[in-house]
Chains A and B, each alone.
Chain A
Amino acid sequence: MSTVEEQLPELHFAGGLPGFPDVRRFVLVRLGDELSPFSVLRSLDDAPEHPDGIEFVVTHPGLFFPGYEPEIDDDIAGRLELASADDALLLVIVTVGDPVAASTANLLGPIVVNRHTRAAAQAVLGNSGYATREALVPTP
């Protein structure tokens, strides 16, 4: 890990993530050139079966899903101390497909980050109708 990456602000998931309850500290790392809509959420903690930590590809959902406006419940807003929607940065986890055009985004469980405190959580939108694997780009 380079010095530059170590200086990136640390995100803290107090409750871990579903599937990775003990992985709590992450950094957000830009992926590719600056026009790329993707970043990597890289853990600073390791996980079972991932001794070197884990990485998720994430993106800003508004770029690919303009109508996506998930309702963040009061529990998450309270836990992350979000006073208004402007305090929140919304990201979604991408499952990289093969080929990459078959990649999908998890709209059921968006990542919510408090821009000011860097507290973060993965929301669970139980009754939203959103899926864990929504195609990022339309299939030809």
Chain B
Amino acid sequence: MLVLTRRANQSIMIGADVVVTVLEVRGDQVRIGIDAPRSISVHREEVFRELEAANRAAASPASGALEGLAALRPPPERRSP
């Protein structure tokens, strides 16, 4: 891992078009600003990892399980008007 020391209001460039700026340091929290093109998605790592795990768990359920699911209907009291 590359390690750089930065102060508040200093930035790091990743490639030519991603700029990561330290906005504020307060105790054990750091506020970070990120400027990146739309084609690059930016997420908190723990949220992205959770979504990865959820997608892997949902991928390719057993075909037998699908047959039962096809009969599952939204509960009438929760159906939208």
Contacts and interface: CB of A to CB of B under 8 A. Distances in A.
A100 B68 contact: yes
Interface in B27-76: 38-39, 41, 43-44, 47-48, 50-62, 65-75
Contacts of A47: 59
Given A55-B60, A124-B41, A96 B54 contact: no
B71 A32 contact: yes
Contacts of B43: 124, 126
Nearest to B59: A54
Interface stretch (A2-10, A60-68, A83-91, A112-120): A60-68
A18 B68 contact: no
Interface in A77-122: 78-79, 93-96, 98-101, 103, 106, 108-109, 122
B80 interface: yes
B78 A109 contact: no
A14 B41 CA distance: 12
| SS class, residues of chain A in contact with chain B | loop
A38 B70 contact: yes
A75 interface: yes
B47 to A, nearest CB: 5
Given A63-B80, A66-B80, A124-B51, A79 B61 contact: no
Closest 3 pairs between A and B when the two form their complex, measured CB to CB: A32-B70, A132-B54, A19-B52
Given A38-B72, A62-B80, A126-B43, 20 more contacts: A15-B41, A18-B48, A18-B51, A18-B55, A19-B55, A32-B66, A32-B71, A56-B58, A78-B38, A79-B38, A95-B61, A96-B58, A100-B68, A100-B69, A108-B47, A109-B55, A126-B44, A126-B47, A132-B51, A137-B74
26 contacts: A14-B39, A18-B48, A18-B51, A18-B52, A19-B53, A19-B56, A19-B59, A31-B66, A32-B69, A35-B73, A36-B70, A37-B72, A38-B70, A54-B59, A54-B60, A57-B58, A64-B74, A64-B78, A75-B41, A93-B55, A95-B57, A95-B58, A100-B68, A108-B47, A136-B72, A137-B75
